[in-house]
Amino acid sequence: MISASLQQRKSRTRRSMLFVPGANAAMVSNSFIYPADALMFDLEDSVALREKDTARRLVYHALQHPLYRDVETIVRVNALDSEWGINDLEAVVRGGADVVRLPKTDTAQDVTDIEKEILRIEQTCGREPGSTGLLAAIESPLGITRAVEIAHASERLIGIALGAEDYVRNLRTERSPEGTELLFARCSILQAARSAGIQAFDTVYSDANNEAGFLHEASHIKQLGFDGKSLINPRQIELLHNLYAPTLKEVAHARLVVEAAEAAAREGRGRRLPERQNGRQPGD
């Protein structure tokens, strides 16, 4: 069972999820200034082995800062079977993270295992049981083949995300500007997420200085149907939000739909939705 607060938060807007390196004290303490839909503190790949404990402490204290209460906080922990995983989980759940991002999710059992640990920590620290969300990152061919099982593994899941770097390496290829090598994985994650009624998130675009390349990729994943994208540079936030903003035609059509529904309700008749520009009814 999940809490009422998590149930309300599951479908919130998450166009942009900005990675914040957990060992970077300046970024950890000041990232609330960025207008991302979610801030994603990282304790995993961006943190050197010798800095794991320091990063955990920095993130734990940041999570309790009042200025971070106004933005959704996600923390990517190290894998549970690593030497840091349990300590990471203890710190971020006790610290009040809204969502825990599980890396390298290969099976539904991976989700079940971390869910049990989260519940244990919630119960021991006095946090409302079922209030911590989960985000499963799929980063391997094995995980992609089991995406549907993973997406249905827990009520805590707010979504599933693609982690492309490890996935592409396991495919024995490399990333291309066209993203051909990621099409199957993206479609698999999107279909799995939608079948479970949760959100789907795309991988990072690592060339922070290539604005045209970022917009090309972001347009592609928006057209596929993704809810949002992980980001590594604050400059990408506004670009992504502008891309996801409704067009004037979409706004006008939405107003017509509302007006038609209100008119039908007043007149006590069945509603007929206004036609789109192509003459088809929505949902046809």
Residues 157, 270, single domain; the answer is no
- The radius of gyration of the chain's CA atoms, rounded to the nearest angstrom, is 20
| Number of Cβ within a 10 Å radius of residue 47 | 24
168 lies in the same domain as 274: no
Same-domain status, 32 and 146: yes
For 21-71, write each residue's pLDDT tens digit.
999 999 999 999 999 999 999 999 999 999 999 999 999 999 999 999 889
pLDDT interval class at 257 (50, 70, 90): confident
Q: Is 139 annotated as a binding residue?
A: yes
pLDDT of residue 205 exceeding 90, the answer is yes
The answer to whether 227 and 15 are in contact (CB under 8 A) is: yes
Give yes or no: residues 70 and 136 share one domain. yes
Whether 184 and 126 share a structural domain: yes
User: pLDDT category, 107, cuts 50, 70, 90?
Assistant: very high
Same domain, 99 and 239: yes
Average pLDDT over residues 206-210: 91
Same domain, 276 and 211: no
Residues 80 and 208 grouped into a single domain: yes
Domain span holding position 251:
246-284
Residues 166, 138: Cα–Cα separation, whole Å: 9
Model pTM score: 0.89
Same domain, 262 and 213: no
Judge whether 284 is annotated as a binding position.
Answer: no
More confident residue, 132 or 260: 132
pLDDT, position 276: 58
> Can you give the CATH number for the domain in which 220 is found?
3.20.20.60
> Angle 27-119-128 (CA atoms, 0-180°, nearest 5)?
75
Mean pLDDT to the nearest integer, 194-208? 96
pLDDT of 284 reads 45
Annotated binding-site residue? 166: yes
Residue 52 shares a structural domain with residue 190:
yes
Whether 63 and 182 map to the same domain: the answer is yes
Residues 28 and 71 in one domain: yes
CA distance 204 to 279: 37
Structural domain count, the chain? 2
